Amino acid sequence: MRILIVEDEMDLSMILSEMLEMEGYYVDAVYNGISGLDYALSGIYDIIILDIMLPGMDGLQVLSEMRRNNMNTPVLMLPAKSEIEDKVTGFDKGADDYLTKPFNTKELLARIRALSRRKEKIFFDDNLKFADIVLDKETHEICKNEQKVKLTKKEFNIIELLILNKGKTVSKECITVKIWGYDTDIEYNSIEVYISFLRKKLNAINSQIHISTVRGIGYTIKERKNG
C-alpha cells in the first residue's frame, strides 16, 4: 500500500514517514499544497494524509480539487486544535477522517487501517478501463475480452500511471519518483525495460493500445486508430 503525506512540518513528516515505512507501507512525502495536489492526481496512492495549513495551496483547497477531478482516494486530514472549525468544511469537501494534532501514533495507524479496509470494500470492483483493456486491480492482469496477461507489480503501477495521465507525456523522472520513490537509485534504462515488457504483453492480447516514447522526455499512452 502506498501512502502520500502532505505536511509542511518536515520533522513531523519525517517521523510519520519512518513510522509508516516500518509498518510496511510505501511512503512519499511532499511539503506544500501544490506538490500535494500534483502527486494526489497521479492516482497511485491508496491513502493520503493531508495537513490543512500548507504553503502554496491549503489542504482544503487540495481536497476540493481532488474531488473535483473525481479522485476518490481516502483522505485523512491533520488539523491543529486551532483549525478544528475546519472539520465540517473538510467533510463537506470530501474528507474521510480527521485526527487532530498532536495525536497518538497508535491511533493514527488504527485510522489508516480502517481507511484501508473501507477502500478495499468500496473499490474492490473498481477496475481501471482504457480503450479496449481493463486493468484488474486485484489480480494485476490486463484483460481484453477473454484474453488476459499477468503483470508484475511494477508493470501494473507503470501502466496505471500512464492511463491515469492519458493524453499527457509522463516523464521518466515522474515515473521514477512515483513508482520507486525519491530515494531510489534505479536507472532510466530500467524503466525502458519495463516499458518494453508492457508493449509485448499488450501485443500478446492484440490490444489497440500503444505506449509511445517521447524522445528525451518520457512516455505517453494512446489508442491506435484502425485505418
Per-chain mean pLDDT for the chain: 87
Total domains in the chain come to 2
Same domain, 118 and 136: no
Single residue among 123, 149, 169 that ends a domain in this structure: 123
Which of 55, 88, 123 delimits the end of a domain? 123
Is residue 155 domain-shared with residue 203, that is, in the same domain?
yes
CATH of the domain at 147: 1.10.10.10
Mean per-residue pLDDT, 60-70: 90
Instruction: Give percent of the chain above pLDDT 70.
Output: 92
Structural domain boundaries enclosing 191: 128-223
Tens-digit pLDDT profile for residues 136-191: 888 889 999 889 999 998 999 899 999 988 888 999 888 888 788 766 777 878 89
Picking from 81, 75, 119, the residue whose alpha carbon sits closest to that of residue 93 is 75
* pLDDT over threshold 90, residue 64: yes
39 and 137 share one domain: no
- Residue whose C-alpha is closest to residue 65's, from 28, 35, 108: 35
Instruction: Kindly state whether residues 109 and 168 are assigned to the same domain.
Output: no
Q: What is the pLDDT of residue 81?
A: 67
pLDDT at 227: 47
- Per-residue pLDDT, averaged over 210-225, amounts to 90
Which pLDDT does position 124 carry in this prediction?
Answer: 46
Using the predicted structure, report yes or no on whether residue 65 has a pLDDT greater than 50.
Answer: yes
My answer on whether 8 and 89 are in the same domain is yes
Residue 203 has pLDDT above 70, yes or no: yes
Tell which of 76, 99, 123 closes a domain: 123
Does 33 score more than 90 pLDDT? yes
| pTM of the predicted protein model | 0.61
Let me know whether 202 and 111 are in one domain. Answer: no
Residue 199's pLDDT band (cuts 50, 70, 90): very high
DSSP letter for each residue of 105-149: HHHHHHHHHHHHHHHHHHHTT--EEETTEEEETTTTEEEETTEEE
Mean pLDDT computed over 120-131:
65
